[in-house]
Amino acid sequence: MKIAMIGWEYPPFKAGGLGTHCYGLTQSLAEKNVCVDFYMPKTKHNTNSNKNNLVIKEVGETEIFPYDRPEDKELVGQFFNSVYRYNDLVAEKVKGDYDLIHCHDWLTMKAGVALKEKMGIPLVLSIHSTEYDRSGWLYPNDWFIKIEKEGMEKADKIIAVSHFTKRVIVDKYGINPDKISVIHNAVYPLGETEKQNIVLFLGRLTIQKGPEFFLKAAKKVLDHGVSTRFVVAGMGDMFPSLIDKALDMGISNYVIFTGLLTEEEVKHIYRIASVYVMPSVSEPFGITALEAISAGTPTIVSKTAGVAEAFRNCLQVDFWDTDEMANKIISLLRYDPLHKTLSSEGKREINLFTWDSVADKTINVYNGVI
């Protein structure tokens, strides 16, 4: 079986869960003797593969860090032009004897649809996030929704990262549920080290990820006299306002804003954190929660996250209920038996979330459309 997979980022050039997913999936597919040509925008990193059945093919050039929504408003027009140009180049340059096309999210949908029509082979579409998720359900952009709807309608099969996402695809885009398979994400275990007195948020600082709720909960934890440090790791358009908010709330001495972290720094902060909080307003899955759990860090996740439906050994909370979020943080910091149980049971359960399993389920989807 030979697959043309159309992506947008690939380690070490990675901005979020999409890059993590594509790496884990392609590595495991290659180990199962599925031949994958992975297409991505050309970068300065010259990404290469160490697998016999996996070839990384960089197409064209993009001057903008690849992600789904640019944070700098001055780059918006240039960003969209880069996305359009990349899709056009992929549709033009992808040739060969492939069994199917597999593309990911709106960033590659136009190329996927064009290649399906040009080559006469099936199209599989993975949905990691929709415009409704990215906008926090406040002001979804019709331009993105139109692209997503067209891609979903023309795909032969859709892979959703959670049942939560499948419901969004059915309810908001009108797609037949029989066309959608749910395959949860996975994680490479990180290992752990000695914990420090840190409560961690790690992710893009956008409405979708709910960092303001993390700060509100932090304020309430500190008001209860709990001595701890809160780390906000990541960048996004809310970065300046979150710093201002911490100052206004009088908690700036207890909150550390790290900005962007390297891959090794991310692994380190997962390992030393005592508690990880993912208060997302809308999260199709949430690989970061699995990464924290794999590092032995007890985790609190939003009920509106796909990982909440798939993983048992974590605490769940409504993203807006900062009182309950604070209570759960305090409980994990103060009660060692709870902390140790969630840590040990979480590490045991995380062994079920392997990229090997994701690859097997993805191959079943491939076989169903070929």
Domain boundaries, the chain: 2-186+354-369, 198-350
Torsion angle in degrees (nearest 10) through CA of 19, 137, 69, 7: 30
| CATH topology assigned to domain 198-350 | Rossmann fold (3.40.50)
pLDDT digits (tens, 9 = 90+) for 320-370: 999 999 999 999 999 999 999 999 999 999 999 999 999 999 999 999 999
- Class of the CATH domain delimited by 2-186+354-369: alpha beta
Strands (E), the chain: 2-6, 35-41, 54-59, 100-104, 123-127, 157-160, 180-182, 198-202, 229-233, 255-259, 275-278, 299-302, 315-317
Q: Centre a 10 Å sphere on the Cβ of residue 44 and count the other Cβ atoms it contains.
A: 6
Q: Using N-to-C axis directions, what is the helix angle for 336-350 and 287-294, rounded to 10°?
A: 110
198-350 and 2-186+354-369 share a CATH fold: yes
Q: Nearest to residue 82, comparing CAs of 95, 92, 67, 97?
A: 67
Q: Please report, as a single letter, which amino acid is at residue 103.
A: C
Q: Centre a 10 Å sphere on the Cβ of residue 351 and count the other Cβ atoms it contains.
A: 9
pLDDT digits (tens, 9 = 90+) for 117-169: 999 999 999 999 999 998 888 888 898 999 999 999 999 999 999 999 999 99
Characterize 166-180 residue by residue with b for buried, 16 or more Cβ atoms within 10 angstroms of its Cβ, and e for exposed.
Answer: bebbeeebebeeebb
Q: What is the mean pLDDT of each run of 10 residues along the chain (370 residues)?
A: 94 81 96 96 79 92 62 64 90 94 95 96 96 87 93 98 96 97 95 93 94 98 96 94 97 96 93 97 93 96 94 96 98 97 95 96 97
